[in-house]
Structure 1
Amino acid sequence: MTRKLFGTDGVRGQANSWPMTAEMALKLGAAAGRYFRRDGRNAHRVVIGKDTRLSGYMLENALTAGLTSTGMNVLLLGPVPTPAVGFLTRSMRADIGIMISASHNPAEDNGIKFFGPDGFKLSDEAEAEIEQIVGSAITPAQPQNIGRAKRIDDGLGRYIEYAKTTFPRRGQLAGLKVVVDCANGAAYRAAPEVLWELGAEVIPVGVAPNGHNINDRCGSTHTDTAAEAVVAHGADLGISLDGDADRVMILDETGRVADGDQIMALLAARWADAGQLRGGALVATVMSNLGLERFLEGRGLRLERTKVGDRYVVERMRAGGFNLGGEQSGHIVMTDYATTGDGLIAGLQFLAAMVETGERASDLVRQFETVPQMLTNVRYAAGQEPLSAASVQAAIADAEARLQGKGRLLIRKSGTEPLIRVMAECEDDAILGDVVGGIVAALSA
């Protein structure tokens, strides 16, 4: 079956436009309810979380209607980080977890992510089955079996308490000043509270959501805001989250940024030294820098690459028994602690490294020298297939020939936006600029 609704991270689009409409959310809720109620039991439950987008109210109500129409009981968590939904799905013995969020995208977008009863995101096969049910007639529950819905007040508190347990008890954060940028998103309450309760002096940024300002000049995709706050307040560290807090960028005391590759390198080295890195490998995507691969090889460790999407990282981790993985974009997946990327817990692990080594953040954020990398996004119109054009194919072939033995090229469609992502790595900056520029020009023609 060709999937049309689901991308690399659930269903996503502009709010009130297909597929992010109330009508489609209702159908998705009913389809998910039918998928998980195939054994006929009536005691099923769903937890639903959301970020701070205005459209979250609309989608939450529509999903709830669809789910309860098939007999599912819905527990509404309100604004919580995406990893909290994964945690609470398993903790509360729910059959489904749903997160309403478009992650790092602007406020006018939204998305719907599904988690299975184990707290992990659904497989491609499960999503394909739900999509097939959406397109067919969905049998509703009998009137006496319609589900109930209620607000859960302690869900966020449960996650906060759990997040604190992932920080080593012997290491407290007293004496450390930490900037945390919550992107006016889902972690605007949880992240500052966790850090403060662990003893840090907290400088909160991006904690005034109004439904429209999520990811707006703040968060992990706009680290200048956190960097300015770090320098202005003389902070020891900056933690910059995205709108649903499943990814993070770390900033040292000078405002310099460490992306997901550098954070993973630090954790992999520390965990390997402590005998905690299972399988002697780190799982990352094809987007991770060649420098990370060389760093790991120098320590006798492996880099296992997957296609782009934290769900594929997690699938490889589970299949291979690995416990550390992630993406350059800041998804850090630590299955000892969470079922999906957790920006807050990753930030706590970085803080643990600072506390245990006594080193400054600037001593830890640069674990390896990156191979020069250039990434350019080219937007295309709906219905177009720009990669099939002969001129684009010729530009790609020329780029591959020029990079032979000197670097690598990766071109892919975004799974969440109408973008072609052109990425290349090469030690020669001139060649790097030429090959990316040539492909971008062909795509834009």
Structure 2
Amino acid sequence: MSRLFGTDGVRGVFGEELTIDLAYNLGRYGSYLLAEGSHHPKIVIGMDTRESGKPLEQALVEGITSVGGEVLLAGVIPTPAIAVITRELGADAGIVISASHNPYQFNGIKFFDAQGYKLPDALEDQIEALINECAALDDITAKGSVSTIDHPETIYFDHITKGISKDLTGVKLVLDCANGASAAIAKDFFESIGAQVSVIGDQPDGQNINCGCGSTCLKTLQEMMADSDADLGLAFDGDADRCLAVDEKGQIIDGDAILNLIGRHMKSQGCLKKDTVVVTVMSNIGLDLALKEVGCKSIKTQVGDRYVLEEMRANDYNIGGEQSGHVILLDHNTTGDGMLTALYLATIIKNSPQKASELNALMTSYPQVLVNAKVANTKKHDYLGDAVIQDEIQKVESHFAGQGRVLIRPSGTEPLVRVMIEGNNQRELEKIAGNLASLIEERLV
């Protein structure tokens, strides 16, 4: 049986993998454990704009209140805001209902602990064990309560602006809110600190989250930037824990380039701990070289922002992230934070004599091809034991010896095996990656 929790909570198609009953049990057993035996845990709940959010919220509320829990509803709000609000209000935990960058049919449930950190694997395993056992909690008789937080975004904004300039006067921004959690608040926030703002992806209807917009689809934002006089375009994903950018010429500033710019800035300000940026194995080799130019280095982890954060906490680093736009600025928040990243990047642009395109050019990316092989969730790891697949991987690695690299990994949130190849020849990379992905699909039917 596969593990219930993936790299980013419990996620699946609503009504299939992620059911109302499962949400109820996650609320019930999760709050019971997070309260460390207390019958009155305080839990903050927020969500993105998916149409399945409200029924999942109701199920979680019923589960939490069944063990005497106090629920504080934050409504539609970015994932990182829940980490902040949980901590600021002294709650026992926070819960986010979101499937992040996935299509609207998917949803997810993710827990934060009292300090705003994602739960460790061991605690997730305890929750899962109680669910699988249908454990009785007969000694609990207290009835819980539900209330709504007034203007929860204010708590979030007050926190992320601490230690960062609140003045973007004269900066022209285009925001793409992915029809998601930032849609109702991002424009007002950036205008409140002086930026001139245009916005797209701010009309959520429950089904259009991440649909042709946001950080997973930058085409519209690129076109707007190329045709406007804006200084910077900023794109969030559905729950706004990611941010990608577009320069004034319409060129993408991906997560690696953002980490390079913020890392360099922190180094220049003397606040980059150990002169190190934590990245994943998916990070482009160009980031390593760009950081080295200014006396910085990178440490690599397995894919997933939770593993980046684990490395940061274990060894006292204060910036890390992923090429996809998860950027963790641990001096300011405990999780990837799209709006915080956007604020930091826009502040760099405002205070630099160089345009965004010139700053973007400080890092040269090597060609990198990523192809997804579609396989069942139950077979995502079977490629490791398949002799034919492993033989082909060895052949590709030998072909690129010293001139590129191959990375095969199962997705932590989707029924996919990801094939990534990096090297100098784009056309060759596409052919080899496509062939390898096809082989994986054929062998793992």
1:238 alignment counterpart:
233
For the pair 1:403 / 2:400, whether they are aligned, the reply is yes
1:8 alignment counterpart:
7
- The CA distance in 2 between the partners of 1:144 and 1:417, in whole Å, is 39
The answer as to whether partners of 1:179 and 1:237 remain within 8 angstroms in 2 is: yes
- The CA distance in 2 between the partners of 1:151 and 1:136, in whole Å, is 33
2:149 alignment counterpart:
152
1:220 alignment counterpart:
215
1:35 alignment counterpart:
33
Q: What letter matches 1:136 in structure 2? A: E
Q: What letter matches 2:404 in structure 1? A: G
- The CA distance in 2 between the partners of 1:49 and 1:359, in whole Å, is 38
1:192 alignment counterpart:
187
Cα deviation for residue 144 of structure 1 reads 5.1
1:373 alignment counterpart:
368
The answer as to whether partners of 1:258 and 1:366 remain within 8 angstroms in 2 is: no
In structure 2, the gaps of 5 or more residues are none
- The CA distance in 2 between the partners of 1:258 and 1:50, in whole Å, is 27
Matches within 5 A, 1:35-74: 35-39=33-37, 41-74=38-71
Mean CA deviation greater in 51-60 or 425-434: 425-434
For the pair 1:277 / 2:272, whether they are aligned, the reply is yes
- The CA distance in 2 between the partners of 1:431 and 1:257, in whole Å, is 23
1:427 alignment counterpart:
424
- The CA distance in 2 between the partners of 1:410 and 1:144, in whole Å, is 52
1:81 alignment counterpart:
78
Q: Deviations over 1:79-109 (max 9, x none)?
A: 0000000001100111111100000000010
Cα deviation for residue 193 of structure 1 reads 1.3
Number of aligned positions between the proteins: 440
Matches within 5 A, 1:245-394: 245-384=240-379, 387=383, 388-394=385-391
The answer as to whether partners of 1:407 and 1:424 remain within 8 angstroms in 2 is: yes
Query: Counterpart of 2:334 in 1: which secondary structure?
Result: coil
Mean CA deviation greater in 424-433 or 398-407: 424-433
Query: Counterpart of 1:113 in 2: which secondary structure?
Result: strand
- The CA distance in 2 between the partners of 1:192 and 1:166, in whole Å, is 21
Cα deviation for residue 430 of structure 1 reads 5.2
Mean CA deviation greater in 330-339 or 352-361: 352-361
Query: Counterpart of 1:315 in 2: which secondary structure?
Result: helix
- The CA distance in 2 between the partners of 1:430 and 1:142, in whole Å, is 64
- The CA distance in 1 between the partners of 2:42 and 2:349, in whole Å, is 41
The answer as to whether partners of 1:164 and 1:194 remain within 8 angstroms in 2 is: no
- The CA distance in 1 between the partners of 2:219 and 2:431, in whole Å, is 28
Cα deviation for residue 141 of structure 1 reads 6.6
- The CA distance in 1 between the partners of 2:39 and 2:16, in whole Å, is 33
C-alpha change, 1:393 and 1:48, in structure 2 (3 Å) is: same
Query: Counterpart of 1:6 in 2: which secondary structure?
Result: coil
1:90 alignment counterpart:
87
C-alpha change, 1:120 and 1:382, in structure 2 (3 Å) is: closer
The answer as to whether partners of 1:379 and 1:418 remain within 8 angstroms in 2 is: yes
- The CA distance in 2 between the partners of 1:226 and 1:431, in whole Å, is 29
Query: Counterpart of 1:107 in 2: which secondary structure?
Result: coil
Query: Counterpart of 2:215 in 1: which secondary structure?
Result: coil
Query: Counterpart of 1:150 in 2: which secondary structure?
Result: strand
Q: What letter matches 1:9 in structure 2? A: D
Cα deviation for residue 342 of structure 1 reads 0.7
Cα deviation for residue 406 of structure 1 reads 1.2
The answer as to whether partners of 1:354 and 1:361 remain within 8 angstroms in 2 is: yes
Superposition misfits of 4+ residues, deviation over 4 angstroms: 141-144
Q: What letter matches 1:280 in structure 2? A: D
TM-score by length of 1: 0.95
Q: Deviations over 1:151-206 (max 9, x none)?
A: 2122122213333445314xx22222211100000011221111000111110111
Please point out which of 97, 100, 103 is paired with 2:97. Answer: 100
Q: What letter matches 1:411 in structure 2? A: I
Q: What letter matches 2:413 in structure 1? A: T
Query: Counterpart of 2:199 in 1: which secondary structure?
Result: strand
In structure 1, the gaps of 5 or more residues are none
Cα deviation for residue 438 of structure 1 reads 2.9
C-alpha change, 1:231 and 1:62, in structure 2 (3 Å) is: same
Q: Deviations over 1:1-22 (max 9, x none)?
A: x75210111000001112x100
1:175 alignment counterpart:
170
